[in-house]
Structure 1
């Protein structure tokens, strides 16, 4: 199955789309579209794929994606089990030249033109820029007419001038990725996302997409610039990052819950991909991401968790721990 070209709904009153989503789960198909996309996840958790980048996402995730960059947000399994979970998100889709073909050629707008070029590799936004942009995305839901256009312009201006953003996918992905009408990559991604905690063999996934193991290995490497084993390892490490952030398991438990067979291999692969140990990753994440990034309900949940942990320390019982 190929990555699908998703049609973004618009109407005659507006030159770009602003949408608030409240659904059981996010749109979870590997897809692309000619519009650039600015998405703010108010409330949701799972795994985000942007080009060849794989990361866990949680409440507050804020990314800017350039035109035709394949991506998907895959929610955690609990969202598909009819347990009352709901996602909340705001998405803005706009053509890079929706304000006119010469607008971005003006010298005053050169930084925004450069931003949209950078966004073709995907940009994750954090820090004080995150707080400003997420607030403005909430505001844009109630704006109409020229105020709506000005709001988007101001957001792009702020992001372009900020250093609080990081690229997601590699430059090599953009150079090598092409849309193939017979592409099986979405089918592979969906199967891998559903089964990465288990020991998926090359023979198993090759049989699932009806090709030989040798052909599958060549095909996957050509389409993604990485081996299937590397891809599965990235999924497992990404899931481990999510579990570390949640703080409900120790590192030994997270190792096996993420699909690794032993702790030394888990620690080694985690450090290779993330650049730090699991414990250091959790500490750094806590410093960088405060409750100001979260949906109000999630922030209250976090405070409750912290209060329980504090109570546990006073009573001699740990609410959660890291090895």
Structure 2
């Protein structure tokens, strides 16, 4: 299954689309679209993939994605359980960079925004005071009408462009070297891995899920994602371990095995490799923040 080209309909009365979604779970397919996207996750949790970057997300997640950047928000398993009462709430603004005119971004006053949208091709997460300001403005633009929709979007983009409180997501070296028109198995591999990472997973099984020979699988996956499959699998397991540690309902040893690791020393080593901290250090930092 190839990365899905998702069509965004702004309607006849608007140059760009603002959408509020309150759903059982977020759109969980690896996809892309020609529109840039500013998305605020009001309420939800899971794993966010942007280009070759992956990390946990939770309430308040706020990112800017450039045009044609593959991405996916994958909710935690509990959102998919039959009868689950969990809901995902989000606000998304989709806009073509040239929606206000092909020459508009090239006037001198718009240079910071033009450069921002070029940087956004890697994906950008907003932090600190910038996050708080844009989070509030996302709630406001949801109800804006007429010209105020346009001015609100421009204000947000200019604020983001002029701030240092933002983090790049996908690596600088990430490129779309393959054609989206070609058959792509990444979605099958992602879904297989998310559904099985707590169990032993072999290269042969992962390759079989996408109907690729084991001989070709590793090279194929790295070409498509700029990382090895083992690294990807480890990141998913560590991300899940972080979630379990934050829930504070298991011991570190229990978290290790519940996340798909087969021994504690390997878990500690891989966890620190990904997060920069040992599981115990991660737990202590979280505990201090809760009691501080």
What TM-score, normalized by structure 1, do the two folds share?
Answer: 0.85
Say whether residues 1:140 and 2:141 are aligned partners.
yes
Q: Secondary structure at the match of 1:119?
A: helix
- 1:73 counterpart SS class: strand
Offset, 1:162? 1.1
Q: In 2, Cα distance between the equivalents of 1:138 and 1:199?
A: 43
Encode CA deviations 1:206-257: one digit per residue, 9 max, x unaligned: 2222221102122112212222111101111122222333333332222222
Counterparts in 2 of 1:262 and 1:167: CA distance versus 1, 3 Å:
same
Residues 7-40 of structure 1: CA deviation (Å, up to 9, x unaligned): 0121111110000000111000100000000000
Q: Give matches, 1:144-155, under 5 Å.
A: 144-155=145-156
User: TM-score, normalising length from structure 2?
Assistant: 0.94
Tell me what 1:314 maps to: none
Equivalent residue of 1:171, what SS? coil
User: Hey, what does 2:71 align to over in structure 1?
Assistant: 71
- 2:139 and 2:286 mapped to 1: Cα distance? 25
1:269 aligns with 2:270: yes
The residue number in structure 2 matching 1:45 is: 45
* Per-residue deviation, 1:87: 0.7
Q: CA RMSD in A?
A: 1.9
Q: Tell me if the contact between 1:57 and 1:242 (Cα under 8 Å) persists in the aligned partners.
A: no
Aligned length: 291
Shift of 1:277: 2.5
Residues 188 and 209, structure 1, Cα contact 8 Å, conserved in 2: yes
**Which deviations, in whole Å up to 9, do the C-alpha atoms of 1:194-213 show, x marking residues without a partner?**
11111111111222222211
Shift of 1:151: 0.6
- Please show how residues 290-301 of structure 1 align to structure 2 within 5 Å: none
Distance 1:275 1:10, change over 3 A: same
Structure showing the higher helix proportion among its residues: 1
1:209-248 equivalent positions in 2, closer than 5 A:
209-248=210-249
Provide the rounded CA distance (Å) in 1 between the counterparts of 2:280 and 2:156. Answer: 35
Gaps in structure 1 of 5+ consecutive residues: 291-305, 311-323
Q: Which one is further off, 4-13 or 170-179?
A: 170-179
CA contact (8 A) 1:121 1:174 kept: no
After superposing the two structures, state which structure 1 stretch, 46-55 or 249-258, moved more.
Answer: 249-258
